[in-house]
């Protein structure tokens, strides 16, 4: 089964559980509400009166913020389940079920396109970026977030005393044993569990690939942001706050259509 079909099935089957985990803010590994969401909402800035498309919009979490900032929004997502939740969250927005590989919108329709943590499911970025460029007006801005290549390079080590999720050299002072951790900044298909049973397949990409692809698709990178945790995160989970204050879990690329 190809990755797009697999992704669609996973979000259709587990989408509600995934969203519930995020919204109820269980002690989980899903920290979007404290990291990516506030960072992306801040990055888009003043969008009053702008036409905005959110690609891979999920349950419409971001669109709800964009509407409150005065943008006129549309959303598209691969998963029917996610779109059902989005329609409940944002009743006056036009949502579509569909893939970002073929956007059902006219050329030059939007001032802004956003994609929060949705392009990691795509192997070859260039056709997607060209499709996004097509629906953007000239000078329009594309904001996308994904897992930082630094975070993706982490590797897990476990022995009877320690569990390390890290990059670098670790030395056992008692035995002198050295462990080198990290997967490198390589391109690869990562397989991981989002919530129990929800097995995801995402593509890790180097900074270089992403910058090269943006340029090839006619974009100019105008900003790059590492998502820092909000103060609310500290109250929720001070240990996770400390970890994600030290390295970026998510990054945002801001590019302009030339």
Ligand X SMILES: C[S@@+](CC[C@H](N)C(=O)[O-])C[C@H]1O[C@@H](n2cnc3c(N)ncnc32)[C@H](O)[C@@H]1O
Give the residues lining the site for ligand X (CB under 6 A): 4, 7, 11, 32, 56-58, 61, 76-79, 82, 99-101, 116-118, 121
- Nearest 5 degrees, angle CA 191-CA 11-CA 61? 110
Q: Are 214 and 255 in contact (CB under 8 A)?
A: yes
Collapse the DSSP code of 232 into the 3-class scheme (helix H, G, I; strand E, B; otherwise coil) and give the result: helix
Whichever of 36 and 167 has its CB closer to ligand X, that residue is 36
Whichever of 4 and 237 has its CB closer to ligand X, that residue is 4
Q: Do β-strands 188-193 and 178-181 pair in parallel, antiparallel, or remain unpaired?
A: unpaired
H or E, element range at 166: strand 163-166
**Minimum gap (Å) between residue 206 Cβ and ligand X:** 20
- Nearest 5 degrees, angle CA 63-CA 128-CA 148? 70
Q: CA 129 to CA 101: how far, in whole Å?
A: 9
Tell me the CB-side half-sphere exposure of residue 85, using CA atoms within 13 A.
23
**Minimum gap (Å) between residue 200 Cβ and ligand X:** 8
Q: CA 94 to CA 92: how far, in whole Å?
A: 7
Whichever of 82 and 167 has its CB closer to ligand X, that residue is 82
Whichever of 33 and 164 has its CB closer to ligand X, that residue is 33
The residue number whose beta carbon is nearest to ligand X equals: 58
Stated length of the chain: 258
Whichever of 75 and 140 has its CB closer to ligand X, that residue is 75
Whichever of 100 and 167 has its CB closer to ligand X, that residue is 100
**Minimum gap (Å) between residue 2 Cβ and ligand X:** 11
**Minimum gap (Å) between residue 171 Cβ and ligand X:** 36
**Minimum gap (Å) between residue 85 Cβ and ligand X:** 9
Q: Are 166 and 160 in contact (CB under 8 A)?
A: no
Q: Which segments of 105-237 does DSSP mark as H helices, in order? A: 125-135, 149-152, 207-216, 231-236
**Minimum gap (Å) between residue 119 Cβ and ligand X:** 8
């Amino acid at each position: 089964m190809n990755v797009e079909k697999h992704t669609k099935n996973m979000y259709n089957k587990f989408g509600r559980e995934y969203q519930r985990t995020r919204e109820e803010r269980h002690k989980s590994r899903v920290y979007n509400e404290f990291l990516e969401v506030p960072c992306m909402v801040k990055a888009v800035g003043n969008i009053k009166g702008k036409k905005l498309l959110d690609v891979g919009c999920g349950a419409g979490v971001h669109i709800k913020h964009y509407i409150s900032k005065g943008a006129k929004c549309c959303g598209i997502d691969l998963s029917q389940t996610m779109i059902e939740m989005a329609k409940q969250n944002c009743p006056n927005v036009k949502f579509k079920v569909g893939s970002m590989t073929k956007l059902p919108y006219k050329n030059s329709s939007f001032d802004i396109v956003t994609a929060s943590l949705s392009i990691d499911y795509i192997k070859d970025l260039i056709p997607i970026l060209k499709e996004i460029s097509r629906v953007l007006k000239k000078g329009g801005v594309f904001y996308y977030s994904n897992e930082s290549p630094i975070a993706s390079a982490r590797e897990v080590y476990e022995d009877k005393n320690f569990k390390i999720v890290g990059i670098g050299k670790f030395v056992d002072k008692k035995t002198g044993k050295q462990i080198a951790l990290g997967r490198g900044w390589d391109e690869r298909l990562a397989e991981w569990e989002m919530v129990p049973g929800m097995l995801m397949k995402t593509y890790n990409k180097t900074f270089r690939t992403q910058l090269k692809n943006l340029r090839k698709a006619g974009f100019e990178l105008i900003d790059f942001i590492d998502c820092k945790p909000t103060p609310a995160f500290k109250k929720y989970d001070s240990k996770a706050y400390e970890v994600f204050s030290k390295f970026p879990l998510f990054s945002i690329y801001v590019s302009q259509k030339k």
